[in-house]
Structure 1
Amino acid sequence: MHVIVVDLGFGDCGKGTVVDHLCATREVHTVVRFNGGAQAAHTVVLADGRQHTFAQFGAGTLRPGVRTHLSRFMVVDPLALVAEAEHLIALGVHDVWQRLTVDRRALVATPYHREANRAKELARGADRHGSCGMGVGETMAYALSHDDDAPRVGDCADPPVLRRKLTALRARLGVGGPPVEDCVRAFAAFAATVPIVDGMRFDDGPCVFEGAQGVLLDEWHGFHPYTTWSTTTFANAEELLDGAPAFRLGVLRTVTTRHGAGPLVTEDPSLGITDPNNPANPWQGAFRVGHFDAVAHRYALEVCGGVDGLALTHLDLPVSRMCTGYGGVRLVPGPPGDLTRQEATTRSLAGAEPRYAEVRDWVTAVEDTLGAPVVVESWGPTAEDKKSADRLTS
């Protein structure tokens, strides 16, 4: 059976390590990326010490034979993809390019999108939205305004079309960056290396659909304006599957975290928990940690239509508090697209007062509170540190 992996927090719950575990313990043909772009940071650690932080390649790539497909919902950054491939090759994945396919309809993130993205975020000053600075949101915004002129993966194989689109893009955004001709050459080389396809069939073997970021950052259901330009629920994966069955797996960690600006009701710096894979950076800012926020995670479950099971990571952390209420503030899903309502919800969280319960058994507490079974338990960074329920690994 196919499995769709979605983060039920603000990201960084451990999707990559869960995907790697699935690829290590069951037959997986392809990992399909179905949202986001090169801003993903899914760290996988193998038992032999090899480690890679996946951005665009699927997090099962360190497992022999597991393929990656970048779907039409991805924002593909060819230059970043080359850099990532080089690191994977250095780790011994010498056939990494042969195991990749890319949908020709996927949008392309360029250095010009990145320049515009960073300029806008800097201009916000203290009111930053928490962008990763990779140009993904700017790529999506440009496509909404200029769909016919938005560079797509298929254009990389057609230099005259690509040149025209990049020239118009750079002029409209009013940014610097490398000469257009340099980008045309680099993207043409990418197109000559990677199989560019018209979609993908999912009947060659079980697939794992790997989401990026988290449901609480969803473009329509997240806490606006501190959101992503991406649908982070199961919706894109299910559209790709077109009715084929799949197990819906939601990922959580025993603390609720957020990298960057925006509400984090249970934030508690005294926890003293850091994440070496998520250091502070000039664009997102600090990596923030709070107690497990069952209120926010219940909201995420509601807006994505529930799950078949949960993966609970970081069970090895010495934490024992769960937020079960906000002292009168309620999180109620609204209709998709009502960003005015979502912004009002964000403002309401400023007055939320978390109410806590002590936790002795995390698996039981999460199952009882969220009403879904924990089918993957993660007690450390490697696949060997995890255990899965039989119905998920079969």
Structure 2
Amino acid sequence: MPALVLLGAQWGDEGKGKATDLLGGSVDYVVRYQGGNNAGHTVVVGDQKYALHLLPSGILSPGCTPVIGNGVVVDPSVLLSELSGLNERGVDTSKLLISGNAHIITPYNVTVDKVTERFLGKRKIGTTGRGIGPTYADKINRVGIRVQDLYDESILTQKVEAALDVKNQILTKLYNRRAIAVDQVVEELLVYADKLAPYVADTVLVLNQALENDKVVLFEGGQGTLLDIDHGTYPFVTSSNPTAGGACTGAGVGPTKISRVIGILKAYTTRVGAGPFPTELFDEDGEALRRIGGEKGVTTGRDRRCGWFDAVIARYATRVNGLTDFFLTKLDVLTGWEQIPVCVAYEIDGKRVEELPYSQTDFHHAKPVYEMLPGWSEDISKAKSFSDLPKNAQDYAKALEEMSGAPISAIGVGPGRNETIEINSFI
């Protein structure tokens, strides 16, 4: 079956946009299956840099149909702004499809997100404040607003009333905020109906028919494995399932149709937001990784926390996703270090642990056990094949491959579209 899942194998920000864009010319559909505009992809095409937040990276590939699946939560204003920005730069966005079953981020979802996070104080999760979590909560509580509801004002009004019945009580009595008027929200949402109408479709039907006709479909996850609501470092996670299983529910395709699962691994480790991070660096090395790697969140603008490569979480990602391949990104950032530490295990209460602990308490107390690998000083950004890399860079990649449990099929040696070494074809 010509269906592939591409996802982050760490805490997100691994370079999924570059990987998706690399494959974009070879696939017919690229599908976002979860998350919202809390995810960010940077894609560099020639001398042009594109920052995508909600749109699938495949929108930059002319022959590709980009799809926003039913598992995504959509902020209409952000989506339309992103489309407008791409149109102004000459990108054709007319092929975009949006699932009518995708849930909409309403103004009150954003309000609840911001006031709740502020109220938590030191216990805050580190959300982006874009209403993602509250929208998913509404979905599970069955008071969510879906894209298709924009086309039935009566249903839309009933659903907004149901959602605000409780939220206004919370906003006024707990947070001392002003109540939100139902009519105001309905009026604001209806403005988007005509603008989104050309893109709305039964994407489940479209994608399954495409697979039946031997089209190549790439499912693109936002965030990363360790931010998965079920399998991540809970509660410091996102509100959806970026892991491979999320592609099935978030796009409406069966697992038997997926032939390959590609994990994106950064050659070191980063994360944005709060939560445990065993290999995090607070010294000059951490600052150098941040500076050289340009580690600033695409969506949030926040500096990313930086640390050495963690093979424990890479092995975990291989297991929970059933990874068949890795795409190793940003290997070039490590150029210049004489020795590069790699976390091969954790020490927890004096014991060596080689697998990710299931206990939140244990993971908070995990200390990295490092193995030192020799570095390299040569510029690798012009390398076109694995043999072009310095021996120590080759050995570093081989060591990560062995520790992580899946073959590395591509290596990023720079930010550009062409700065990639392809070892094995993904398709």
Q: Which moved more, 1:64-73 or 1:159-168?
A: 159-168
Distance 2:329 2:95 in 1: 28
The alpha-carbon distance between structure 1 residues 333 and 256, as it changes in their structure 2 partners (threshold 3 A), is closer
Contact 1:58 1:67 in 2 (8 A): no
For the pair 1:134 / 2:134, whether they are aligned, the reply is no
Alignment match of 1:61 (pick from 59, 62, 86): 59
Deviations 1:12-46 (A, max 9, x none): 0011110001114xx21111111111111011111
Contact 2:409 2:422 in 1 (8 A): yes
What amino acid is aligned across from residue 329 of structure 2 in structure 1?
A: T
Q: Residue 129 of structure 1: SS of its match in structure 2?
A: coil
Contact 1:137 1:229 in 2 (8 A): yes
Distance 1:280 1:108 in 2: 22
Deviations 1:365-391 (A, max 9, x none): 111111211001101112200122343
Distance 1:189 1:28 in 2: 30
Alignment match of 1:211 (pick from 201, 204, 221): 221
Q: Which residue of 2 aligns with 1:352?
A: 366
Q: Which residue of 1 aligns with 2:306?
A: 289
**Total equivalences in the alignment:** 375
The alpha-carbon distance between structure 1 residues 315 and 220, as it changes in their structure 2 partners (threshold 3 A), is same
Q: Which moved more, 1:198-207 or 1:155-164?
A: 198-207
Q: Under a length normalisation based on structure 1, what TM-score does the superposition of the two structures give?
A: 0.89
Contact 1:254 1:362 in 2 (8 A): no
Q: CA deviation at 1:117?
A: 0.8
Q: Which residue of 1 aligns with 2:388?
A: none
> Gaps spanning 5+ residues in structure 2: where?
172-178, 374-391
Contact 1:113 1:136 in 2 (8 A): yes
Q: Which residue of 2 aligns with 1:23?
A: 24
Alignment match of 2:245 (pick from 235, 246, 255): 235
Deviations 1:325-355 (A, max 9, x none): 1122647579xxxxxxx6xx22212322211
Q: Residue 222 of structure 1: SS of its match in structure 2?
A: coil
The alpha-carbon distance between structure 1 residues 331 and 76, as it changes in their structure 2 partners (threshold 3 A), is farther
For the pair 1:381 / 2:393, whether they are aligned, the reply is no
What amino acid is aligned across from residue 275 of structure 2 in structure 1?
A: G
For the pair 1:193 / 2:209, whether they are aligned, the reply is no
Contact 1:316 1:379 in 2 (8 A): yes
Alignment match of 1:152 (pick from 121, 146, 150): 146
For the pair 1:107 / 2:103, whether they are aligned, the reply is yes
Q: CA deviation at 1:192?
A: 2.6
Q: Which moved more, 1:238-247 or 1:6-15?
A: 238-247
Contact 2:40 2:298 in 1 (8 A): no
Distance 1:312 1:279 in 2: 19
Distance 1:389 1:183 in 2: 50
Q: CA deviation at 1:186?
A: 2.2
Q: Which moved more, 1:317-326 or 1:38-47?
A: 317-326
Deviations 1:185-228 (A, max 9, x none): 32323343323325232325211110011111111111111111
Alignment match of 1:252 (pick from 265, 275, 288): 265
Distance 1:390 1:325 in 2: 29
Q: CA deviation at 1:280?
A: 9.8
What amino acid is aligned across from residue 373 of structure 1 in structure 2?
A: P
What amino acid is aligned across from residue 44 of structure 2 in structure 1?
A: V
Q: Which residue of 1 aligns with 2:276?
A: 263
Deviations 1:65-99 (A, max 9, x none): 21111111111221110011011112211x31x21
Contact 1:280 1:287 in 2 (8 A): no
Q: CA deviation at 1:63?
A: 1.7
Distance 2:352 2:234 in 1: 17
Q: Under a length normalisation based on structure 2, what TM-score does the superposition of the two structures give?
A: 0.82
> Gaps spanning 5+ residues in structure 1: where?
335-341
Contact 1:8 1:300 in 2 (8 A): yes
Q: CA deviation at 1:279?
A: 4.7
What amino acid is aligned across from residue 317 of structure 1 in structure 2?
A: V
Q: Residue 251 of structure 1: SS of its match in structure 2?
A: strand
The alpha-carbon distance between structure 1 residues 12 and 91, as it changes in their structure 2 partners (threshold 3 A), is same
The alpha-carbon distance between structure 1 residues 279 and 217, as it changes in their structure 2 partners (threshold 3 A), is closer
Distance 2:366 2:423 in 1: 36
For the pair 1:121 / 2:122, whether they are aligned, the reply is no
Q: Which residue of 2 aligns with 1:337?
A: none
What amino acid is aligned across from residue 270 of structure 2 in structure 1?
A: T
What amino acid is aligned across from residue 52 of structure 1 in structure 2?
A: Y
The alpha-carbon distance between structure 1 residues 21 and 280, as it changes in their structure 2 partners (threshold 3 A), is closer
For the pair 1:326 / 2:346, whether they are aligned, the reply is yes
Q: Which moved more, 1:50-59 or 1:5-14?
A: 50-59
Contact 1:61 1:68 in 2 (8 A): yes
Q: Which residue of 2 aligns with 1:168?
A: 162
Q: Which has the larger radius of gyration?
A: 2
Deviations 1:154-210 (A, max 9, x none): 111222211222233234222556822432332323343323325232325211110
Q: CA deviation at 1:291?
A: 0.5
What amino acid is aligned across from residue 183 of structure 1 in structure 2?
A: E
Q: Residue 271 of structure 2: SS of its match in structure 1?
A: strand
Distance 1:207 1:170 in 2: 38
What amino acid is aligned across from residue 114 of structure 2 in structure 1?
A: R
Contact 1:20 1:60 in 2 (8 A): yes
Q: CA deviation at 1:7?
A: 0.5
